Chains A and B, each alone.
Chain A
Amino acid sequence: MHAAAWLAGGFLLALALGSCTPVKAYQKSKINDADMELSARKVEKPESNFQSYKEGASGAGGGKVGGGCGCN
Chain B
Amino acid sequence: MKRICLTVLGIFIWFMAAFSQSAGYDTSSYKPVRLKLDEADLVSGYYSQNGNHSAVTGGTGSEQLHDISNVIDLKFVKWDPTGTNQYHLDMEVGLDHHTAASQAYVSQTGASRAYGTRFYPSLNWSVQNGRGFTFGVGASFSTEYNYHSFGLNAVAGKTSRSQNTDITLRGQVFLDRVGLIYPSELAPSTAGSGSGYSTYTTASGQVIGSYGGDDHYTIPTSPRNTYAGSLTWSQVINRNMQVALLADFVGQNGLLSLPFHRVYFNDNSTEKIENLPDIRLKIPLGMRLNYFLGDKLVLRSYYRYYRDNWGIRSHTASLETPYKLSPFVSVAPFYRYYTQTASCYFAPYAAHKLTDTYYTSNYELSAMNTHYAGINLRFAPQKGLYIFDLIELRYGHYVQTTGLHGDNIAINFRFR
- A interface residues, Cβ below 8 angstroms from B: 5, 9, 12-13, 16-17, 19-25, 27-28, 30-31, 33-39, 41-47, 49-51, 53-62, 65-72
* Cβ < 8 Å to A, chain B residues 291-316: 292, 298, 300, 302-304, 306, 308, 310, 312, 314-316
List 25 A-B pairs, Cβ < 8 Å: A5-B315, A21-B239, A22-B162, A23-B164, A28-B236, A33-B298, A34-B378, A35-B298, A41-B412, A42-B414, A46-B47, A47-B45, A47-B394, A54-B400, A58-B282, A58-B284, A60-B285, A65-B226, A65-B282, A66-B151, A66-B252, A67-B140, A67-B149, A67-B151, A69-B146
Q: Which residues of B contact A37 (CB under 8 A)?
A: 290
- Contact of B45 with A45 in the complex, beta carbons under 8 Å: yes
Shortest beta-carbon distance from B296 to chain A in Å: 11
Chain A residues whose CB sits within 8 angstroms of the CB of B242 once the complex forms: 31, 36, 38
Q: Which of B246, B258, B406, B411 contacts A60 (CB 8 A)?
A: B246
B137 at the interface (CB under 8 A from A): no
How far in angstroms is the closest Cβ of chain B from A33? 7
Contact of A30 among B49, B65, B163, B240 (CB under 8 A): B240
Q: Does B172 contact A (CB under 8 A)?
A: yes
Cβ-based interface call for B380 (8 A): yes
The 9 closest A-B pairs by CB, nearest first: A46-B45, A66-B226, A60-B286, A60-B284, A59-B284, A57-B306, A66-B174, A69-B147, A43-B412
Main secondary structure of the interface of B (DSSP, over half): strand
CB pair B228–A59 under 8 Å, yes or no, is: yes
A38-B288, A65-B172 known; A28 vs B239 contact (CB < 8 Å): yes
Chain B residues lying within 8 Å of A50, measured Cβ to Cβ, are 47, 49, 67, 398, 406, 408
- Across the two chains, which residue of chain B brings its CB closest to A44? B394
Q: How far is the CA of A62 from the CA of B408 in the complex (A)?
A: 16
Interface residues contributed by chain B, number (CB under 8 Å): 104
How far does the Cβ of A62 sit from chain B's closest Cβ, in whole Å?
5
B338 lies within 8 A of chain A by Cβ: yes
On chain A, the residues within 8 Å of B308 by CB distance are 56-57
Using known A-B contacts A9-B287, A55-B340, determine if residue A33 contacts B292 with beta carbons closer than 8 Å: yes
Interface-located stretch among B23-31, B95-103, B206-214: B95-103
Bound Cα distance A52, B169 (Å)? 22
| Contact with B392, one of A24, A42, A62 (Cβ below 8 angstroms) | A42
Q: Identify the B interface with A (CB < 8 A).
A: 41, 43, 45-47, 49, 65, 67, 69, 71, 73, 98, 100, 102-103, 116, 118, 120, 140, 142, 144, 146-147, 149, 151, 162-164, 172, 174, 176, 178, 226, 228, 230, 232, 234-248, 250, 252, 258, 260, 282, 284-290, 292, 298, 300, 302-304, 306, 308, 310, 312, 314-316, 322, 324, 330, 332, 338, 340, 343, 364-365, 368, 370, 372, 376, 378, 380, 392-394, 396, 398, 400, 404, 406, 408, 410-412, 414
A30 to B289, CA, bound (A): 14
Q: A66-B226, A66-B228 are in contact. Are A38 and B239 (CB under 8 A)?
A: no
> CB < 8 Å: which of B43, B142, B303, B398 contacts A45?
B43
> Closest approach, in angstroms, between the C-beta of B48 and any C-beta of chain A?
10
Interface pair B408/A19, CB less than 8 Å apart: no
The answer to whether A35 and B47 have CB atoms under 8 Å apart is no
With the chains together, A39 CA to B310 CA distance in Å? 28
Contact A61 B364 (CB under 8 A): no
Q: In the complex, what's the smallest C-beta–C-beta distance from A71 to chain B, in angstroms?
A: 5
Write the nearest CB–CB distance from A58 to chain B, whole angstroms. 7
Contact B372 A51 (CB under 8 A): yes
A67 contacts B176, C-beta separation under 8 Å: yes
By the criterion CB–CB under 8 Å, are A31 and B236 in contact? yes
A68-B368 contact given A17-B237, A62-B286, CB 8 Å threshold = no
